[in-house]
Structure 1
Amino acid sequence: MKTFFAFLVSLLLVQNAVAAQQSCNNLQPDLWVEAQYAINGSTIVIQNQRVHLIGLYAPQKERTYKFHTPGEPLAKQSQNHLNTLLANHDLKIGIVYDTTKMNKNRVQQAHAFFEDGTSLNAEMIRSGFAINRVQNDNVRYSKCYFAAEKEARDNNYQLWDQLKKNPQSHFPLVKSSEVYAEDQGFRIVQGEVKEVLKSSTYYLINFDTTGIRIPKKAWDKFDYAKLQALQGKIIEVRGYNYLYKGNMFMVVEHPYAFNVFNPLNNSN
């Protein structure tokens, strides 16, 4: 009986993943444009303006100006793969905007599609050269993007393969118990929730070494009772790690940052 139940659950997950991928297609975007080139694995240039692909975090190349920022694994390969995808479709893409058209740095945010309806954003994640990231409430195709990431992760594509072969890289995922000061930047942090608290300004979800902080302005998106129910469970949270007074913190503003709440895993 347990085996049959497990089979049904597995079948349902597969069907959900297929449906999620199909939900990504779009044959009638807001406008058609000609891309110029990719400057990294998540940003393209269109009409001499940068456009960030929604739902993506791609590894970043080394930066030496102002402050030195070490490069992340497969950064150049990620950029090359995005340029290859664009070239294979004659640089023509359809643009779809979401809730927030520009980020705080005045960079356009967009979903991009090829003429056959295929999502460029999803293809980058599915390839394993990028991972999913939720920003600015732009969640129109989130289920599709999470399904694409699951496929890449299950099959150890690219970033997931390099993590398997080089666990010390701590990218794109790091266990909270193994976090070092050098692990600042965008990460998926995995760990056991030790405590869930509430202050006047934050919901606080604490791992052993990393504190997840949900600011008050984002409380309306979260169910605090569900956050409390996470205590004692092993979960994953994605966002920017930053070091403050010797401790690692991460501020998140959307439930999809938690693997247990993302549209693939949340059955409620």
Structure 2
Amino acid sequence: MKKLISFLALALTSISLSFSASAAVEQTCKVDTEKLLWTKADYAITGDTLVINRQRVRLAGLYAPQIEKKQKWHTPGEPLAKEAQTFLNKLLANNDLEVGIEFDTTRLDNRNRQLVHLFLRDGTSVQQKMLESGYTLARTTYNNLKHAECYYQAEQKARNGEYQLWDFMAKNPDRHFPLANSSKLTSEDEGFRIIKGKIVKVDKSSSNYILNMDTTGIRVQKKYWKNFDYNKLKALNGKTIEVRGYAYLYKGAMYMMLDHPYSIDALSPINQANK
């Protein structure tokens, strides 16, 4: 009987700790709505870019598929791009276009667009909704880390449920979007991707940290070394990981430049929190 009681106590403690960890993740998207800058949004241009007060604004912490552009420099469209835009527009419209703005470490991107975390009046995170829908992907840029754990958790929820982009990938594996295996990459796979492969080399030059998969070179420029722990990168050698960012073809090989460790799944906030 004592053994049974001890087992039940241990099980309840385990459940309680698990629930607390899960709740902590969910709460990372919470904010004090009274401290936000409240205004009216105009409309969404894509699933991660919208117009607010006649200015283009980017949603920090995520990436949405790009809508095809047919101007002088043609940009091919990515899967479910229009659907992501529509989802964001409906989310805004259903809340009377009222949004609360929170800024992070970096307020402007390299195209002078404001980078914001966006909330609805009831405290709901717009980014969290977009990621849980499966129309967007978590992405850490400009060292904007507020709510990062929440965003990656939201993406994982969509991935587990095979929603939208994840359902598209399951049904169209030859499209290599949003995820592609390094061994199966082709010259058509440039652009934003999550690339999965085994790390076969970790090294350091005078200007880069170097991680190589079979066909993919991953590089961290010296100016971003301060964000990384090189010992943690060395520990990835021989492991199969996922990296996310813009893939580009150079001299017959695919490359990806990283500026933050969260771009590596093994170093992401949800994986670090579980250690």
TM-score normalised by length of structure 1: 0.94
Alignment of 1:169-188 (within 5 A): 169-188=175-194
- Alignment of 1:25 with 2:30, yes or no, is yes
The correspondence for 1:141, drawn from 129, 144, 147, is: 147
The correspondence for 2:108, drawn from 102, 105, 117, is: 102
Question: Closer, same or farther in 2 for the Cα pair 1:166/1:117, shift >3 Å?
Answer: same
Counterparts of 2:20 and 2:158, CA distance in 1: 17
Counterparts of 1:12 and 1:245, CA distance in 2: 50
Q: Give the AA of the match of 2:41.
A: A
Counterparts of 1:32 and 1:82, CA distance in 2: 18
Q: Aligned-pair distance for 1:25?
A: 1.7
In the other structure, the counterpart of 2:45 is 39
Counterparts of 1:16 and 1:76, CA distance in 2: 35
In structure 1, list runs of 5 or more residues that go unmatched.
none
Question: Closer, same or farther in 2 for the Cα pair 1:36/1:15, shift >3 Å?
Answer: same
Q: Aligned-pair distance for 1:241?
A: 0.3
The correspondence for 1:198, drawn from 199, 204, 221, is: 204
Question: Closer, same or farther in 2 for the Cα pair 1:244/1:264, shift >3 Å?
Answer: same
Confirm or deny: 8 A CA contact 1:29 1:95 kept in the other structure.
no
Counterparts of 1:144 and 1:112, CA distance in 2: 13
Counterparts of 1:10 and 1:131, CA distance in 2: 29
Aligned length: 263
Question: Closer, same or farther in 2 for the Cα pair 1:207/1:126, shift >3 Å?
Answer: same
- Deviating above 4 A after TM superposition, structure 1's stretches of 4 or more consecutive aligned residues are 8-15
Indicate the SS of the match to 1:265: helix
TM-score normalised by length of structure 2: 0.91
- Alignment of 1:117 with 2:123, yes or no, is yes
Q: Aligned-pair distance for 1:64?
A: 1.6
Instruction: Spell out, residue by residue over 1:59-98, the C-alpha distance to the aligned partner (whole angstroms, 9 max, x if none).
Output: 0111221222221100000000000000111000000000
In structure 2, list runs of 5 or more residues that go unmatched.
1-9
- Alignment of 1:239 with 2:239, yes or no, is no
Larger Rg: 2
Counterparts of 1:178 and 1:247, CA distance in 2: 12
Counterparts of 1:178 and 1:28, CA distance in 2: 49
Counterparts of 2:257 and 2:17, CA distance in 1: 33
Percent of counterpart pairs with the same letter?
A: 50
In the other structure, the counterpart of 2:3 is none
- Alignment of 1:224 with 2:192, yes or no, is no
Counterparts of 1:17 and 1:166, CA distance in 2: 32
Question: Closer, same or farther in 2 for the Cα pair 1:64/1:17, shift >3 Å?
Answer: farther
In the other structure, the counterpart of 1:152 is 158
In the other structure, the counterpart of 1:72 is 78
Q: Aligned-pair distance for 1:11?
A: 8.3
Indicate the SS of the match to 1:86: helix
Q: Aligned-pair distance for 1:14?
A: 6.3
Q: Aligned-pair distance for 1:117?
A: 0.5
Counterparts of 2:242 and 2:14, CA distance in 1: 21
Of the structure 1 ranges 164-173 and 22-31, higher mean CA displacement relative to structure 2 is found in: 22-31
Q: Aligned-pair distance for 1:221?
A: 1.4
Question: Closer, same or farther in 2 for the Cα pair 1:45/1:165, shift >3 Å?
Answer: same
Of the structure 1 ranges 93-102 and 15-24, higher mean CA displacement relative to structure 2 is found in: 15-24
Q: Give the AA of the match of 1:205.
A: L
Question: Closer, same or farther in 2 for the Cα pair 1:13/1:162, shift >3 Å?
Answer: farther
